[in-house]
Amino acid sequence: MGGLAAFVLHSSAQVERSVVPDAAQSDPVALGWMQGFPPPPDKLIMQPDSDFFSFPKMRWTVCHIRELMSTKEVSRGIGAPIPMTYALDEGIDKVTFTPIGGEMPMTWNESLSANYTDGILVLHKGRIVHEKYFGALDEAGKHAAMSMTKSMTGLLAEILVTEGTLDETARVNTIVPELNASAFGSATVRQVMDMTTALDYSEDYSDPNADIWVYSKAASPLPKPANYEGPNGYCEYLQTVKQKSAHGEAFEYKTVNSDALGWIVARSTGKDIAHLLSVRIWTRIGAEQDGYMTIDAKGTPFAGGGLSAGLRDLGRIGQLMLKGGELDGKRVFPAKVVDNIRSGGDKAAFAKAEYKTLPGGSYRSMWWVFHNDHGAYAARGVHGQTIYIDPTAEMVIVRFSSHPQAKNGYIDPTSLPAYQAVSEYLISKDKN
């Protein structure tokens, strides 16, 4: 996760070794984090402390990233926001499902607490049927999207490919010559977009010697120590990544691909990811709020996980994808963009990653494609972030969360069947 990676690991490692308070016990408002003028010393969350992303402090942090790290705006422009329509359905709270690997049924409402939900939004046929906020998040707040940022980067790249600005078959070194000697130089743009690059790079957060820590130090916007001799910034670090085997043979989820893609997109358009996300998406969807992205010391946005945004604005993104690039009667990008993403990536390459909760899935343009009966696909991020799109049910679910465990493998068992149950509930209501 670039500049945030160290803090994510600290959170996960500490949680694995301790008894974890539940959602109510870890509520940041109830715990009094950053409350008072000024807050008491034992309730402060601030730099340069290294534990501001440790649980349960992270439940406040994910809603206040820009108060702790350098950021760049994703502007919504100066036009009026386009209101969303409501048709709230209280029956969703009572929808039941059985968790993956479980035996006892759980209600949708119970799953929200189980997954440390900070905000949840369900859209059906373009209308909000369910919306709730918890903890440090309210409707005016913004929340870290984590690796859902990757899907925004992938979406921008797919738009450029569809429009002919970016050649997906081109070798990366023909677009970004600085990457020629790195593993990325010999990869194609599509291999970067679908993370089938063969990188000698470890993103195992549980290994203190993993490459992710060198990456994190390079990405940090804070001043480097006087004796620091490593790379400074995302671009310098990417040039050091080596190749381990042939590209295109296996899917391997590595955040550095997203930052390489961010560089490719920026070089192809003359605009960094934050600016391009603004002019191509945020200013065109009637967004309510500006978003923002964390940056490194050189001002480069974190294309792999730096976005923070409002819940309803990500709902607009989900609805835009559901409607094939069109929103409120206006075409934002070609329908082929969504068709390409929904078609999915190489299933055989994806299967090599052995995701137990995603059998038969694939990865395309940094979106997760489930290939289930409903044709669902999603943007996903650590600690439970999701934009889940179900075309069959005409449903979009957006969830912000601050689950103590980073990996979605811990969260999927009480999330994926819950999403499916709500979609079936909405379909059954349509029939009646």
**Residues 161-201: tens digit of each pLDDT:** 999 999 999 999 999 999 999 999 999 999 999 999 999 99
For 262-298, what is each residue's pLDDT tens digit?
Answer: 999 999 999 999 999 999 999 999 999 999 999 999 9
Strands (E), 262-332: 291-294, 307-309, 326-327, 330-331
pTM over cut 0.85: yes
Confidence of residue 312 (pLDDT cuts 50, 70, 90): very high
What pLDDT score was predicted for residue 4? 55
381 within 8 A of 307, measured Cβ to Cβ? no
Confidence of residue 9 (pLDDT cuts 50, 70, 90): very low
59 within 8 A of 26, measured Cβ to Cβ? yes
Rounded Cα gap, residues 224 and 211, in angstroms: 18
Which residue do the tokens 């990500």 mark?
Answer: 314
Range with the poorest average pLDDT among 4-8, 219-223, 359-363: 4-8
Range with the poorest average pLDDT among 1-15, 114-128, 416-430: 1-15
In a domain, 298, yes or no: no
Range with the poorest average pLDDT among 24-33, 103-112, 157-166, 209-218: 209-218
In a domain, 223, yes or no: no
In a domain, 178, yes or no: no
Question: HEC profile for 341-385?
Answer: HHCCCCHHHHHCCCCCCCCCCEEECCEEECCCCCCCEEEEEHHHE
What pLDDT score was predicted for residue 16? 53
For 202-237, what is each residue's pLDDT tens digit?
Answer: 988 778 889 998 999 999 998 899 999 999 999 999
What pLDDT score was predicted for residue 3? 52
Residues 139-159 have a mean pLDDT of 98
Tally of residues, the chain:
432
In a domain, 263, yes or no: no
User: Please, which residues have CB within 8 angstroms of residue 231's CB and are 6 or more apart in sequence?
Assistant: 214, 218, 237, 239, 240
Q: Which range marks the domain in which residue 31 is found?
A: 2-64
For 69-97, what is each residue's pLDDT tens digit?
Answer: 999 999 999 999 999 999 999 999 999 99
Rounded Cα gap, residues 272 and 278, in angstroms: 10
Rounded Cα gap, residues 420 and 33, in angstroms: 35
Burial (CB count within 10 angstroms: exposed 0-12, middle 13-18, buried 19+), residue 225: exposed
- Pairing verdict, β 127-133 and 85-86: parallel
What pLDDT score was predicted for residue 316? 98
190 within 8 A of 175, measured Cβ to Cβ? no
Rounded Cα gap, residues 15 and 406, in angstroms: 10
In a domain, 237, yes or no: no
In a domain, 365, yes or no: no
Confidence of residue 15 (pLDDT cuts 50, 70, 90): low
Count of structural domains within the chain: 1
Rounded Cα gap, residues 253 and 351, in angstroms: 12
On average, the pLDDT of the chain sits at 94
399 within 8 A of 119, measured Cβ to Cβ? yes
What pLDDT score was predicted for residue 109? 98
Inform me whether the pLDDT recorded for 5 exceeds 60. Answer: no
Q: What percent of the chain has pLDDT over 90?
A: 90
What pLDDT score was predicted for residue 1? 42
* DSSP conformational letter for 301: B
